[in-house]
Amino acid sequence: MKILLVHNFYQSTHVGGEDLVFEQEKNALINALGSENIFTYTVSNDQLSKFKLIFTIWHSFYHAKQIYALIKKNNINIMHVHNYFPMLTPPIFKAANKAGAKVVYTLHNYREWCLSGLFYRENKPECYDCAKLKLPIPGIKHGCYRGSKIQSLLAGLAYFYYKFTHHLSYVDKFFVLSETQKQMLQKIQTPIILKSELKPSFVESKKIKASIRKNYLYVGRLEKIKGIEILLAAWEKLDSSFILEIIGSGPNQALLKQEYNQNNHIIFLDKLPRAKVLEKMSQAKYVIHPGIVEETQGLTILESLAQGTPVIGFRIGTRKEYIQEGHNGFLCEPQNLGATIIKAEEIFVHDPEFYQKLSEQAVLSVQDFMPNKITLKQIELYNELIPHSLER
């Protein structure tokens, strides 16, 4: 079996979770199937010409032609797409189909139905206004794509055009990342649910041994939908002995630093190398995951649990899947975050046996997300698309 992995990387100044997952899955598949059976076709938004994009966002004949030739030349069985927007464009699906490959598409976000990719707009955490529309007029009106009405218009018109090409009909299997995501797709009644399979992304399997646990940790983008403003507002009201470390950058970074830098118990660490992030997770008392939208998965939660660090999160989306109250962390409503942190601190300080149990159960709770298990499932799902009698 030969696999072609396809991905449109974000800009290198903003490495997204999709970029990380692509690299992790590529390496895992090479280890499992051999480098001679894994091919890649990637582009990066670093190469993006805004002027050229106006003309190529609709249909990139070049990339479709290149992918068709690559599949034909190497007798590739499966093309697996992680992200095609904005440079690769949907004709790559049809090109792969015509070349004889089966097509798999991981739904890392909801952008096929929502310009924000999250079923979210300002002050409306669950927004489905565009889900049934061919032209996402509300999303354009509210500037849901990157907060820009002009960019939203271009993206909205592009996806409007894509729908008329029936690009998703060329996909043989969709990978969804969580039960929460599957439920969201059922909620909007999209027919692709019939071709969807649950295949989560995996987490780092190596547990870093922490010498001592101290402080609390937030890891993520510094923007409203990640709940960082709610977290900081709650933290200001806590005693100064509660130390919060914040890893990440984002559009609100400068404003938040200016507002909270005088607080000695709030420490901004900016972006850190991945190895350092995992080390920080292993050293924290708790990781806090305060996002206000329903994410497709939420790898930060799973990575924290894998390090034996209990997670405190809002009772929203995949956090309800991954965090079991009093078992590997704590769930709360946004308005109760401060009280939940105080309760978690009391357990850490006064009931170390219970905390140790939380830590041990955190590690056990993510065993189904280890690389070997997820990669094996991924290969099995690929195999379902290829009758063995026809496998090249």
Residue 130 tokens read as 């565009």
DSSP-derived secondary structure for 189-246: T-GGGGGEEE-PPP---PPPPPS---SEEEES--SGGGTHHHHHHHHHTS-TT--EEE
The tens digit of pLDDT for each residue in 109-160 reads: 999 999 999 999 988 888 999 999 999 999 999 999 989 999 999 999 999 9
Domain 3-108+172-202+371-384: give its CATH code: 3.40.50.2000
| Amino acid making up residue 24 | Q
Check whether 390 has a pLDDT greater than 80: no
Check whether 26 has a pLDDT greater than 80: yes
**How many angstroms separate the Cα of 148 from the Cα of each of 144, 161, 329?**
7, 20, 37
Of the options 2.40.30.10, 3.40.50.2000, 1.10.760.10, 3.40.50.1220, the CATH number for the domain spanning 216-369: 3.40.50.2000
Length of the chain: 392
Q: Domain segments of the chain: what residues?
A: 3-108+172-202+371-384, 216-369
- What single-letter DSSP state applies at residue 58? S
Strands 311-314 and 329-332: parallel
Residue 302 contacts residue 203 (beta carbons within 8 Å)? yes
Residue 55 tokens read as 């003309």
Residue-wise over 294-316: b if at least 16 C-beta within 10 A, else e? Answer: bbbbbbbbbbbbbbbbbbbbbeb
Check whether 19 has a pLDDT greater than 90: yes
Q: What is the pLDDT of residue 389?
A: 43
DSSP-derived secondary structure for 17-51: HHHHHHHHHHHHHHHHH-GGGEEEEEEEGGG--HH
User: How large is the average pLDDT for residues 201-220?
Assistant: 89
Q: What is the pLDDT of residue 388?
A: 63
Q: What is the pLDDT of residue 209?
A: 81
Where do runs of H (alpha helix) occur along 273-328? 274-283, 299-306, 319-322
Check whether 14 has a pLDDT greater than 80: no
Check whether 251 has a pLDDT greater than 90: no
CA distance 25 to 36: 15
Whether pTM > 0.95 for this model: the answer is no
CA distance 271 to 175: 29
Residue 11 tokens read as 């800009």
Check whether 391 has a pLDDT greater than 80: no
- What single-letter DSSP state applies at residue 114? -
